[in-house]
Amino acid sequence: MNDKNHFRKTNDSVDSKLKKRILMSAIGVFICGISVGMFKRAALGVDPFQSLMSGLNAVIPISFGTLYVIANLCLLLFALIFDRRKIGLATLINLLFFGYIAEYTLKLLEKLLPSLSMPGRLVLLIIAVVIMCLASAFYFTADLGVSTYDAVSLIISERQSRVAFKYCRIISDLICVLLGFVLCRAGGFTLTQIGGEIGIGTIITAFFMGPLIAFFNEHVAKPFLG
C-alpha cells in the first residue's frame, strides 16, 4: 500500500511539473511577443531575427503575424529534416501565436501611446528588454522545445563540432541584420525608418540578453518550476 501511495505521489509530482513547464512555455511566448511589440513601438531597434522579419514585411505586404508563421514554417522544415529533437510544444506555441501577439501589441501601443518623446521611447525599450529576458528564461527553463530560429543555430553547431553555438548564433544574427537592412531598403524604407528596426535596441539585445536571461533563470524561472 505504501508503495502504491509513493507511486501515486510521484506521478502527481511529475504531472504537476509538466503542467508548470507547459504554463511557463505559454507565458514565455506570450510575454516575449508583447516585448517585440514594445520594441517596435519604441522604434529604436529590435532583436536580429525580428530585424529580418521587418525586412521581409517591408517587401511582402501581408500581416506581420501571418508572415511570421510562414517564415517559421520554413525554418521548422529545416529542423524537422536535420534534428527533430529540437522541436517541441513550445516550438509550436511560438510558431502559431508569437507573431500575432507582437502585431496586436504594437497596434494597441500605437493607440495608447500615439506620440512618444525620446525619453519615453528609451523607457519603453528598457522595459521591453527586461521582460523579453524574463520571458526567455521561462521559455528555456521549461525545456519543451526551442524556437525554430534557435534550432537552426543549435543544429549547425552540433553538426559542425568545431564551431561553438555562440559563434553560430553570432553569424546567424549578423546575417539576419544584414538581410533585414537590405530588404528594408528594397521595400522603400528610409534610413530613419531602418533605424527604428535596426538600432540601439539591436545592440542591447546582442550584449545584455545573455546575462539578464541567466539572472532571471536562477532567481525566477527555476524557483517557479522547482
In the chain, the number of structural domains is: 1
pLDDT-based confidence at residue 145 (cuts at 50, 70, 90): confident
pLDDT in tens, 163-196: 777 788 788 888 998 999 999 999 998 878 888 8
d(CA 139, CA 152): 17
Query: Rounded to two decimals, what is the model's pTM?
Result: 0.82
Q: Hey, what's the cell of 156?
A: 549547425
Q: Please give the residue range of the domain that contains residue 83.
A: 2-225
Q: At 168, is the secondary structure helix, strand, or coil?
A: helix
d(CA 59, CA 57): 6
Q: At 89, is the secondary structure helix, strand, or coil?
A: helix
Residue 206's pLDDT is what? Answer: 75
